[in-house]
């Protein structure tokens, strides 16, 4: 069989081209001859897999769309197995009043998944292999005055020669998933700015700017001027140099630099001007942060000479309803939520992400592990290797200037489930990993390389993360200390990436399953195939209570270990995956601290209690307001807070003040035993910070002494939401119409008339199929406004319950 990608009609992107296009998305373009115009709006789209340009030019049934866009925004997370993996076309008409022959015209795509071909006025203008990476298409030769038709074919078909592997635990969303820009510039222009800080200390710093000058026929009359401004906007250094194809400007001594760190992420501004006979020919601007870091051998991490415990999480690039086609506002909101939680480190899993993410990390003070998408699949053939090396080069060149990045990750679980024969051969894997490692250090000697969970390559890279899933995929969370003590001695630069477990929002248990007495408690390694492994992931109750306890245990240990580099929780938000159709919300990885729509779960507040600076208090749990138990049987209530003192009240009566003590578990000792009364119980927690600031949290719990019988029926109720939609809730009840708090079976919603469900969102109220949480499940419904709505909920036990809503 002929290999499709080895015969691909357009060349692979080369490093020389990358040097021309890097950072165009990160820099502010200021000269009148250089412009950057966002062209996200008013595209046309058609689902058509044809490779023929003439076929597409005759299509009439285009649909209007705005970018970013993916055709998998809902079909990836609907209830049907699989999702659309093929080609689609986009069309854009660009009106150009005048074409200046002295200027260059380019299209810049921040990301298009997975392969892209671009046609301008019927001509093949170029293309790109690989998603998650920006690329430029020079359209100077193809455009004209007047209307210009741009056609773009994007394809996310099964492609074993392009990473990531199709066996990865996340969706590969097809489409133009990020912003697109129209660029204009002088033919002789600045192509790339590479900014390095060779020496940094608290007293002084040096700065080197390397600029490539494109189409420089003669250096006569040309100069390059660099101006450095401090975070307050004051000019602190200016320098002018003669011009060559690669011009270097070196600032040797910047006195008393304002350092970039996670609490005060100071950013300096650099303006580089290409001068011709003392007039500005071209100009670009970027940011720089002065900082230095070190991974101590068999010890902790240091930033700017001070020990910093890395407090991290992972971020996948997707959101409910839009998939990977997120807006810049949504990207920014994710990073702000991560920072508000108190994290100082984020691993970008498992691919380079939108430019807005790196910008946010620079500005917010979040250290970054940037990752090549070599995720599973083993090592491939020569075409695969070329594509993979090109993506590594692109990733480093495009993101080089960001002070937030400290690690280039070369892969994750790479040997799992090989796509090629003998693809998991250790000798072959290590040879290619060594090649990537050398390449990364050649392109960027200043940063570290890393991998996760490929033990045979642990000594090839600078930083290594083994697999520790104590309390979920193996063993008990109480084995965590033993796991990190083992690996701290074994690996010179050990960091722990990925830990946690799944939770269904609103599911709670008075006695969450810990596995004690049911599983071998000492293990922590995740097995590739788990059919013969007993673990909490299989036998657990997926309650929010259990996950809260797991994270509490982990953080109590990591925060107390003075020689630990730090850990990185998996993952910040629930995200879609083709590998988990059986999950409580189908096709969702539910290990997030937030749901897929960005709403915090209980676990989010555990992390805040250890990491956040702004005082808060949170009574566990706001999604557990209906409880039951015997009379006169105290229930332990935990308050998660970063205050050093908390007082707890039950129905207006103080149950005492407690001092936060991190050595105590759970909740650092902020727990109270409450004898609930039957009916309404008012709970209040009042925290006092070290600065004397008071914060409080209030929760009302309805408690009953009588235990429900077996589920006998499903009932439906509704309430109108502020957005005009309706939240329809199904409740499992017993023969006495009492809510069955122990019922967790799956139910199916359907709107029979008068509207439609907000489905395929992968959220607790956005899936037509969902397992109940303490006997309840809900779905949001959008009325059509013209007739009454009829809703149905069913499962195998209850053949159908109906509800009529008159708008």
Pairing of strands 448-452, 405-412: parallel
Give the integer Cα–Cα distance in Å for 76 and 576: 7
Give the integer Cα–Cα distance in Å for 258 and 254: 10
Supply 519's token pair: 């599983």
Give the integer Cα–Cα distance in Å for 585 and 564: 35
Give the integer Cα–Cα distance in Å for 397 and 161: 22
Tell the residue number behind the tokens 């007495």, with chain if given.
517
Give residues with Cβ within 8 angstroms of 753, minimum separation 6: 787, 788, 789, 790
Which residues pair with residue 731 across a beta bridge?
715, 776
Supply 212's token pair: 């490539």
Give the integer Cα–Cα distance in Å for 389 and 724: 51
Q: What are the DSSP E strand ranges found in 721-775?
A: 726-733, 746-753, 755-757, 769-771
Q: Is residue 292 classed as helix, strand or coil in its secondary structure? A: coil
Give the integer Cα–Cα distance in Å for 433 and 177: 29
413 is catalytic: yes
Give the integer Cα–Cα distance in Å for 313 and 568: 5
> For residues 291 and 303, is the Cβ–Cβ distance under 8 A?
yes
Give the integer Cα–Cα distance in Å for 472 and 591: 11
Give whole-number Cα distances, 377 to 47, 75, 511, in Å: 29, 24, 40
Give the integer Cα–Cα distance in Å for 807 and 805: 6
Supply 744's token pair: 């967790």
Nearest one of 286, 115, 117, 105 to 181, comparing CA atoms: 105
Supply 781's token pair: 């419904």
**Catalytic residue from among 110, 161, 318, 413:** 413
> For residues 314 and 347, is the Cβ–Cβ distance under 8 A?
yes
Q: Phi first, then psi: what are they for 586, rounded to 5°?
A: -55, 140
Q: What are the DSSP E strand ranges found in 651-736?
A: 653-659, 671-674, 679-688, 694-704, 713-720, 726-733
Tell the residue number behind the tokens 């796509």, with chain if given.
419
Give the integer Cα–Cα distance in Å for 624 and 548: 13
Nearest one of 239, 137, 76 to 760, comparing CA atoms: 76
Q: Is residue 193 classed as helix, strand or coil in its secondary structure? A: strand
Nearest one of 171, 137, 115 to 20, comparing CA atoms: 137
Give the integer Cα–Cα distance in Å for 547 and 590: 11
> For residues 493 and 522, is the Cβ–Cβ distance under 8 A?
no
> For residues 720 and 784, is the Cβ–Cβ distance under 8 A?
no
Q: Phi first, then psi: what are they for 662, rounded to 5°?
A: -65, -15
Q: What are the DSSP E strand ranges found in 71-218?
A: 87-96, 103-109, 115-120, 123-129, 135-138, 146-155, 180-186, 189-196, 204-214
Active site residues: 413
């Amino acid at each position: 069989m002929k290999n499709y990608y080895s015969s691909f009609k357009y060349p692979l992107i080369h490093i020389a081209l990358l040097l021309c296009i890097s950072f165009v998305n990160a820099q502010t373009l200021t000269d009148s001859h250089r412009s950057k115009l966002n062209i996200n709006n008013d595209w046309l789209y058609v689902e058509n897999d044809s490779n023929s340009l003439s076929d597409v030019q005759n299509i009439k049934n285009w649909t209007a769309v705005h970018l970013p866009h993916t055709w998998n925004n809902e079909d990836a997370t609907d209830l049907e197995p699989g999702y659309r993996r093929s080609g689609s076309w986009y069309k854009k008409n660009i009106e150009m009043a005048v074409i200046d022959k002295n200027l260059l015209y380019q299209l810049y795509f921040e990301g298009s998944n997975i392969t892209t071909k671009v046609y301008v006025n019927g001509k093949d203008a170029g293309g790109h292999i690989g998603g998650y990476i920006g690329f430029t298409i020079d359209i100077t030769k193809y455009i004209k005055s007047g209307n210009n038709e741009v056609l773009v074919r994007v394809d996310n078909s099964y492609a074993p020669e392009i990473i990531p592997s199709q066996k990865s635990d996340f969706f590969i969303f097809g489409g133009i998933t990020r912003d697109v820009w129209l660029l204009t510039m002088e033919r002789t222009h600045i192509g790339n700015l590479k900014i390095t800080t060779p020496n940094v200390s608290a007293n002084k710093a040096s700065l080197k700017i390397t600029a490539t000058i494109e189409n420089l026929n003669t250096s006569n009359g040309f100069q390059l001027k660099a101006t450095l401004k401090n975070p307050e906007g004051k000019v602190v250094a200016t320098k002018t140099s003669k011009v060559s194809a690669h011009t270097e400007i070196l600032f040797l001594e910047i006195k008393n630099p304002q350092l970039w760190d996670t609490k005060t992420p100071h950013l300096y501004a650099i303006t580089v001007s290409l001068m011709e006979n003392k007039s500005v020919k071209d100009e670009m601007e970027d940011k720089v942060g002065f900082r230095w870091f070190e991974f101590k051998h068999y010890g902790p991490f240091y930033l700017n000479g001070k020990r910093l415990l890395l407090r991290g999480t992972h971020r996948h690039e997707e959101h409910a309803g839009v998939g990977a086609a997120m807006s810049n506002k949504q990207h920014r909101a994710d990073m702000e939520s991560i920072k508000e939680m108190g994290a100082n480190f984020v691993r970008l899993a498992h691919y380079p992400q939108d430019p807005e993410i790196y910008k946010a990390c620079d500005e917010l003070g979040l250290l970054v592990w940037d990752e090549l998408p070599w995720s599973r699949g083993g090592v491939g053939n020569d075409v695969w290797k070329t594509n993979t090396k090109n993506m590594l080069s692109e990733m480093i060149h495009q993101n080089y200037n960001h002070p937030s990045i400290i690690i280039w990750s070369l892969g994750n679980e790479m040997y799992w489930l090989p796509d090629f024969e003998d693809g998991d051969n250790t000798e072959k894997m290590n040879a290619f990993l060594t090649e990537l490692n050398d390449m990364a250090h050649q392109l960027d000697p200043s940063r570290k390389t890393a991998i996760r969970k490929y033990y045979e390559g642990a000594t090839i890279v600078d930083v290594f993360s083994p697999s520790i899933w104590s309390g979920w995929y193996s063993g008990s969370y109480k084995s965590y200390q033993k796991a990190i003590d083992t690996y701290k001695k074994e690996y010179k630069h050990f960091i722990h990436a990925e830990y946690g477990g799944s939770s269904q929002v609103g599911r709670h248990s008075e006695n969450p399953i810990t596995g004690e007495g049911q599983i071998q408690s000492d293990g922590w390694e995740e097995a590739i195939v788990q059919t013969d492994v007993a673990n909490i992931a299989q036998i657990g109750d997926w309650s929010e209570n259990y996950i809260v306890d797991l994270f509490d245990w982990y953080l109590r240990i990591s925060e107390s270990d003075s020689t630990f580099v730090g850990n990185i929780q998996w993952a910040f938000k629930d995200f879609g995956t083709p590998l988990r159709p059986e999950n409580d919300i189908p096709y969702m990885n539910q290990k997030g601290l937030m749901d897929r729509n960005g709403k915090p779960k209980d676990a989010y507040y555990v992390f805040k209690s250890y990491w956040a600076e702004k005082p808060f208090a949170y009574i566990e749990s706001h999604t557990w307001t209906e409880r039951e138990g015997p009379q006169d049987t105290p229930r332990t209530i935990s308050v998660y807070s970063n205050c050093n003192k908390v007082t707890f009240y039950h129905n207006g009566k103080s149950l005492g003040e407690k001092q936060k003590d991190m050595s105590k578990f759970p909740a650092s000792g902020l727990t109270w035993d409450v004898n609930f009364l039957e009916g309404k119980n008012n709970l209040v927690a009042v925290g006092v910070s070290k600065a004397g600031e008071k914060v409080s949290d209030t929760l009302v719990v309805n408690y009953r002494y009588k235990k429900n019988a077996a589920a006998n029926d499903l009932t439906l109720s509704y309430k109108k939401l502020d957005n005009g939609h309706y939240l329809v809730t199904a409740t499992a009840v017993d023969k006495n119409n009492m809510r069955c708090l122990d019922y967790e079976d799956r139910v199916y919603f359907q709107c029979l008339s008068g509207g439609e469900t907000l489905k395929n969102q992968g959220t607790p109220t956005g899936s037509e199929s969902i397992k109940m949480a303490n006997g309840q499940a809900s779905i949001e419904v959008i009325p059509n406004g013209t007739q009454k709505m009829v809703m149905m909920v069913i499962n195998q036990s209850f053949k159908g319950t109906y509800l009529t809503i008159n708008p």
